Amino acid sequence: MAPGQDLDGHPRPPRLSAEELGSAFGDVLTAAIGKTMVPAGLPRRLSSGASRESWVFEVAPGVEGPRRFVVQLFPERHIGTGLTAMSEAQLLAVASDGGVPVPRVVAAGGPGGPPGAAFLVTEWIDGETLPSRIFRDPTYRPGLAGLQRECASALARIHDLPVDATHLRPLDPIEPYRDDLAASGQSHPALEWAYRWLIQNRPQGNPPCIVHGDFRLGNLMVDGRGLRAVLDWELAHIGDPYEDVAWPMVRAWRFDRVRPAGVFPDRESWLSAYGEASGLDVDPDIVRWWEIAGTFKWGVICLTQWLRHRDGATRSVELAAIGRRVAENEYDLLGLIP
């Protein structure tokens, strides 16, 4: 792969400077909102996001005072479940109509738009996503008591959204990741063993629903009042609700070193809260299967993320560092599988 080319050898679109991005999205917002939106300073790149660029920028719309927006620039090749910017915007609108707390979509566009990449613009929401800050900063302490209940309510609302109102497709919870593992050309016996166990012990599924796919600490915006928004919908698909219920209990997403006892996701009270919110009689043994499936999935994702860096598709220190977590998930699997 030559510099300036994607994985298929096609030229990558030129990367815009911060000045050019500010000008481009000033025009996008002016068209979307219907009044001239002048950038107030240069947009600022956010550190979050391993597969997309996220930028925050502020505009001064006259007498209404400054407003902030978040722009996500999508990669040339779809990652995860293949959601486009337009289909994710539609999904967020459906979620909002269903009572799920999500950022309000302001604009979305395909790869031929002003920034030279597919994009999604949402309104800025004040709060924090970093678990270490949420659990250690006294500012957020008042919101922690009800966080488990609010997360359960939000997740139950997601699972109750009309499946046919989106362009989401069904996704098998383990087969695509087994394919990625095989395509890596690397030997990972613990992951192979976990895959075989999952196939041999696969439980009967629940009726399919919309699954967020990445519902966990780090993708939940929290403030001193509690849950503000569910973020990062790029892995959304049609699947089993237990997939979302088990995902935040995967060891990588529990943040046990900083999470106070009893706070989301506390296993027993989390399953109870979700059962109450959804009306499902949650089976903890089946949820355990999904926790093992989630650990397997995250181990393979860590491997493929690292390979994206190693092979030059996306040069990133973050992706390089994620590679070391493959072994952590292999270790967790050895302890989880009976």
Confidence of residue 217 (pLDDT cuts 50, 70, 90): very high
Residues 114 and 142 reside in one and the same domain: no
Of 114, 89, 85, which Cα lies nearest the Cα of 27? 114
Residues 111 and 184 reside in one and the same domain: no
Query: What is the model's pTM?
Result: 0.89
* Chain segment 81-98, per-residue pLDDT in tens: 678 889 999 999 999 999
pLDDT higher than 60, residue 50: no
User: 90 in a domain, yes or no?
Assistant: yes
pLDDT higher than 50, residue 37: yes
Element (H, E) at 60: strand 53-60
Domain that holds residue 109: 18-123
Identify the DSSP state of 137: -
pLDDT higher than 70, residue 7: no
Comparing 125 with 37, the larger pLDDT belongs to 125
* Chain segment 288-298, per-residue pLDDT in tens: 999 999 999 99
Residues 56 and 200 reside in one and the same domain: no
Residues 136 and 114 reside in one and the same domain: no
Instruction: Decide which of 123, 145, 161 is a domain's last residue.
Output: 123
CA separation for the pair 2, 245 (Å, rounded):
43
Residues 210 and 293 reside in one and the same domain: yes
Residues 218 and 275 reside in one and the same domain: yes
Residues 41 and 174 reside in one and the same domain: no
Of 116, 118, 138, which Cα lies nearest the Cα of 128? 138
Residues 310 and 273 reside in one and the same domain: yes
State what percent of residues in the chain have pLDDT above 70: 90
Q: What are phi and psi of 200, to 5 degrees?
A: -75, -25
Structure tokens at 213: 């796919």
- Residue 35: give its domain's CATH number: 3.30.200.20
User: 4 in a domain, yes or no?
Assistant: no
User: 28 in a domain, yes or no?
Assistant: yes
User: 9 in a domain, yes or no?
Assistant: no
Confidence of residue 24 (pLDDT cuts 50, 70, 90): confident
Residues 105 and 154 reside in one and the same domain: no
pLDDT of residue 4: 42
- Residue 292: give its domain's CATH number: 3.90.1200.10
* Chain segment 122-145, per-residue pLDDT in tens: 999 999 999 999 999 999 999 999
